[in-house]
Amino acid sequence: MSIIQVASEKGEVIWAAIQSAVDVPNFPTTSGTMLVTESPTFGREPVMATNSEITDSYAERPGEICGHKAGTLKLAVNFKVSGTKGTLSPIHPLLLALYGRHTVVPNTSVSYMHYRRNPEDAFVYLTVLVKKQTETVLMTNVRVKKMDIDITSDKLLPASFDCLYEKEFHAGKSTLKTAIDGTVTPVTVIPLNGLEDYQLFEVGSYIYVGTDDNGGAGFEVSAVSKANNELTIEDGVTTVQDVGVKIAGFTPVVTSSGYNLQAGKSWKTGNTGELGVRKIFYTNLKFGVENGVKALENICSDEGVIGFAEGGRKVTLTTTRYYSLLGEGARYLLENEVSIPIDAQVGTEAGKILEIVIPSWKINKQSESGKEDKSIAIDGQCFESSGDDESTLVLK
Amino acid sequence: MKLKENKVPMRYIGAIEVKIAGVGSILPGQTVEVPIWMANNLVRDPNWEISGPVKQMEISAPAENTEPVESGETPGLDGLDGSDNSDVSKEKPSKRKIKRQEES
């Protein structure tokens, strides 16, 4: 049985792991598997050289690439819960990197709180491995910048995450050019079969060679030779491998766990304050958290960034509901800048409930649409009440 | 025909049910036997541990392929017209047709 049959699965998949610190990559394991709903997109813009010298020179010419900016990564997943109260969600790494802090109360709940700004909490960095049809891409120092949740009655709860990352390591697919007979081991130089296949691999990526995956750890590529079309790997292959066996990016085993949420029975309440206790039904609710992360570009190197700075946080909540359920109350709330506490909940079964607690929601815009089925959309922003508590995400 | 494959019993010690393609649903505390390469991969995760020695398991071999019969030709019928039928399985029908046309 070849490893690629499991690694490929159907379509594409990602794995994520929480780093202990910046610049300390943590290769994900099988528990970090996340199933995506859209193909992950990522890329790094090049930094173009500018040169204002008037005369011809041998200096770097304008328009040449002299480095890369921080990369951007977009992930789309279903918002999954564990199904057991007090147990982490399968998408826990993304949620923690977004919020910065979490509290686990066994058999009760898992709560996510925003990064504190004074004193500042350390950023949570991720290592993310993306498996696409043609290659694997390992990204390190990933910072989650933004999350959007769209709570619409007929959908599984979609969540999208916008991230920044510092480094990326690609591993494509090739085949072995010269057999490894297993008598002289370890073999650390791996000749590639395809013409110029060396271009598909980068130093820092992890691969397997045929049926050998370095005992489940993958082989780290330590050098790529253009002249010889070959890779040098750490540790080395210690088993017999025939000519033509596959060489490709190493991935953990794909596992699936947890439960998807559906918004069909959702509701929200403004349970204190000027509105009093009331339950308000909605047709759509969009919740967004944006950390406003700014990349600090590295001027001392051609690669990536030297870190990320927090650029302010914005938490937003937009609802849509039928006009008859609301009346004209929103206009009063808008004009008087009334602060509304919100407790929005998705799901009703223990262990499969997402609760968004917002102490202070203020409306900043309302707009009507539709004819017979007239609906009203209300945009608002969430503010802190007692320090860094614009919202709390509770899984219970 | 039976083939032999080495498998390793692995215990899942995670908190929630997990699914693996080709293995199925695994409950917390359950032990499953998986191929060595998968065991090596899983054991790097804190939710998995090896629970016993490697076992040699018998697995069913895939069915052998049979030679497909081309449509429009029934092996053995060539002998009815007096021609030699001894090498019918080696010779492609299309060539035989061409040969008969040349003889006539």
Domain that holds residue A226: 177-244
Across the range A264-290, mean pLDDT stands at 65
Report the mean per-residue pLDDT for chain A: 85
Q: Flag if B44 and A87 touch (Cβ within 8 Å).
A: no
pLDDT over threshold 80, residue A302: no
Q: Flag if B20 and A82 touch (Cβ within 8 Å).
A: no
Is the model more confident about B18 or about A273?
Answer: B18
Is the model more confident about A159 or about A55?
Answer: A159
Q: What is the per-residue pLDDT for A368?
A: 80
pLDDT over threshold 60, residue A106: yes
pLDDT over threshold 80, residue A218: yes
Residue A221, in any domain of the structure:
yes
Q: What is the per-residue pLDDT for B83?
A: 40
Q: What is the per-residue pLDDT for B100?
A: 40
Structure ipTM: 0.81
Residue A93, in any domain of the structure:
no
For B35, the closest chain A residue by CA position comes to A1
Q: Flag if B42 and A253 touch (Cβ within 8 Å).
A: yes
Across the range A233-237, mean pLDDT stands at 96
Radius of gyration of chain B (CA): 27
Contact call for residues A360 and A352 (beta carbons, < 8 A) = no
Q: What is the per-residue pLDDT for A153?
A: 64
What does DSSP assign to residue A155? S
Contact call for residues A390 and A384 (beta carbons, < 8 A) = yes
**Which helix (H) or strand (E) element contains residue A7?**
helix A4-8
| CATH T-level fold of B2-60 | Ribosomal Protein L9; domain 1 (3.40.5)
Q: What is the per-residue pLDDT for A118?
A: 85
pLDDT over threshold 50, residue A306: yes
Which site among B32, B41, B43 would you substitute to test the A interface, given the most A Cβ atoms closer than 10 Å to its Cβ? B41
Which site among A250, A257, A259 would you substitute to test the B interface, given the most B Cβ atoms closer than 10 Å to its Cβ? A257
Amino acid at B100: R
Q: What is the per-residue pLDDT for A251?
A: 95
Hey, is the C-beta of B46 within 8 angstroms of any chain A C-beta? yes
Interior CA angle at A325 toward A323 and A331, to 5°? 60
Shortest alpha-carbon distance between residue A232 and chain B (Å): 22
Contacts 24+ apart (CB under 8 A), A310-314: A310/A115, A310/A117, A310/A120, A310/A123, A313/A114, A313/A115, A313/A117, A313/A289, A313/A390, A314/A288, A314/A289, A314/A290, A314/A381
User: Chain A contacts of B39, Cβ < 8 Å?
Assistant: 216
Hey, is the C-beta of B27 within 8 angstroms of any chain A C-beta? no
Q: Give whole-number Cα distances, B73 to A149, B92, B94, in Å.
A: 63, 10, 9
Pick from A30, A84, A217: which is nearest to B15 by CB? Answer: A84
Model confidence pLDDT, tens digit, residues A189-210: 999 998 899 999 999 999 999 9
Q: Flag if B41 and A252 touch (Cβ within 8 Å).
A: yes
A7-11, A53-57, A347-351, B60-64: the lowest-pLDDT one: A7-11
Shortest alpha-carbon distance between residue A207 and chain B (Å): 13
Hey, is the C-beta of B15 within 8 angstroms of any chain A C-beta? yes
Residue A167, in any domain of the structure:
no
User: Chain A contacts of B35, Cβ < 8 Å?
Assistant: 1
Residue with tokens 């969430």: A382
Model confidence pLDDT, tens digit, residues A26-84: 999 999 999 999 889 998 888 777 777 766 655 556 677 777 788 999 999 999 999 99
Residue A153, in any domain of the structure:
no
Hey, is the C-beta of B21 within 8 angstroms of any chain A C-beta? yes
Residue A387, in any domain of the structure:
no
Pick from B16, B40, B42: which is nearest to A87 by CB? Answer: B16
Residue A115, in any domain of the structure:
no
Q: Flag if A213 and B43 touch (Cβ within 8 Å).
A: no
Q: Flag if B37 and A257 touch (Cβ within 8 Å).
A: no
Across the range A231-244, mean pLDDT stands at 96
Which site among A131, A253, A256 would you substitute to test the B interface, given the most B Cβ atoms closer than 10 Å to its Cβ? A253
Shortest alpha-carbon distance between residue B42 and chain A (Å): 6
Across the range A369-387, mean pLDDT stands at 85
Residue A187, in any domain of the structure:
yes
Residue with tokens 């594409």: A12
Across the range B31-45, mean pLDDT stands at 94
Both tokens assigned to A67: 């480095």
pLDDT over threshold 70, residue B37: yes
For B15, the closest chain A residue by CA position comes to A87
Domain ranges in chain B with CATH number 3.40.5.50: 2-60
Q: What is the per-residue pLDDT for A277?
A: 54
pLDDT over threshold 70, residue B87: no
Closest among A165, A117, A115, A168 to A143, alpha carbons compared: A165
**Three-class SS state of A360:** strand
User: Chain A contacts of B46, Cβ < 8 Å?
Assistant: 29, 31
Amino acid at B25: S
Closest among A30, A26, A205 to A128, alpha carbons compared: A26
A98 vs A103: CA distance, rounded Å? 14
Residue A203, in any domain of the structure:
yes
* Percent of chain B scoring above 70 in pLDDT: 54
Contact call for residues A98 and A71 (beta carbons, < 8 A) = no
Closest among A380, A378, A345 to A361, alpha carbons compared: A380
Task: Please count the structural domains in chain A.
Answer: 1
Q: Flag if B45 and A216 touch (Cβ within 8 Å).
A: no
pLDDT over threshold 90, residue A376: no
A147 vs A163: CA distance, rounded Å? 9
